[in-house]
Each structure stands twice: as C-alpha cells, then as structure tokens.
C-alpha cells in the first residue's frame, strides 16, 4: 500500500478510535501539520500531552489521551471538514462556532494553523481543517 492520501484525516481517525477504545495513548505518523493540530488539542484541553518521536526513519507523534471519568474521553467527536477532494475555505465572518463555542474549529490560515477563536480575533480566513468537541 502507498502513502496515505490524507494524513490529517488518518491522524484524526486514529485519535478518535483510540479515544473510543479507552486507550491511554496512540502513536500516529507525524508531520508538521499533525504536530500543530496535536498542539492545539493540548492547548484546548482535549488531550493530556503529545510527543514527537523518531524511530529509525519514521517520524511519529505519540498522543496521550485525556479522560473525564473512566472511559469517557474529553474528545466527543473529531470531524474532518475540508477533504482533498473538496476543500472548504471560509473567511473570518463565516468561521463556524462549534457547539456554541464549547468545541473548536481548526483552520489553516496564511499565518499558520490556529483555532477558530484566534482566526476571528486576527480577522483571518482559511481552510477549515476540522472540528473537535
């Protein structure tokens, strides 16, 4: 099998599945984009921590999941919005509020990957990568 066509979707799916299975951590293929998404998930309190791991030639990210109660993940849902086949772009006025502000939308802007709140305050639009709640 070849390289994954959508590394962001693969990252989100592996984290979502690990959270549903009640795992404490999950190791996923790493890239600059997925590392920044992991940083935002930690900053917003959805995951405990993350670590950049290099094994031989592979670059990986180990994500330590966070739980409220036993087996109830802080991540209720991870949803990929913009896909390689259908990109979703929004301007600063069109950025959606995820669950009335309880969730987070992650965007790729001209100033890097950031949360919906940061993009609104900086009046930036961009590609709507995913929603987390």
Residue 102: what are its φ and ψ, rounded to 5°?
-75, -30
Residue among 65, 59, 60 nearest 27 (CA): 60
Q: Would you place residue 3 in the very low, low, confident or very high pLDDT band (cuts 50, 70, 90)?
A: low
CA angle 105, 94, 7 (to 5 degrees): 40
The predicted model scores a pTM of 0.92
pLDDT in tens, 36-87: 999 999 999 999 999 999 988 999 999 999 999 887 999 999 999 999 999 9
Q: Are 58 and 16 in contact (CB under 8 A)?
A: no
Separation between Cα atoms, residue 71 and residue 74, nearest integer Å: 10
* Domains of the chain, first to last: 7-73 (3.30.1370.30), 78-132 (3.30.1490.10)
DSSP code per residue over 78-98? EEE-SBTTB--EE-TTTPPPG
Separation between Cα atoms, residue 12 and residue 34, nearest integer Å: 9
pLDDT in tens, 105-115: 999 999 999 99
């Amino acid at each position: 099998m070849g390289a994954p066509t959508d590394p962001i979707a693969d990252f989100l799916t592996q984290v979502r599945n690990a959270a549903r299975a009640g795992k404490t951590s999950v190791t996923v293929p790493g890239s600059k984009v997925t590392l920044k998404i992991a940083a935002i998930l930690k900053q917003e309190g959805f995951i405990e921590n993350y670590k950049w791991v290099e094994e031989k030639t592979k670059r990986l990210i180990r994500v330590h999941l966070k739980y409220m109660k036993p087996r109830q993940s802080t991540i209720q849902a991870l949803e990929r919005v913009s896909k390689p086949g259908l990109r979703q772009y929004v301007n600063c006025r069109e950025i959606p509020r995820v669950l009335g502000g309880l969730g987070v939308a992650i965007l790729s802007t001209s100033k890097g990957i950031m949360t919906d709140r940061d993009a609104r305050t900086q009046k930036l639009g961009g590609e709507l990568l995913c929603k987390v709640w």
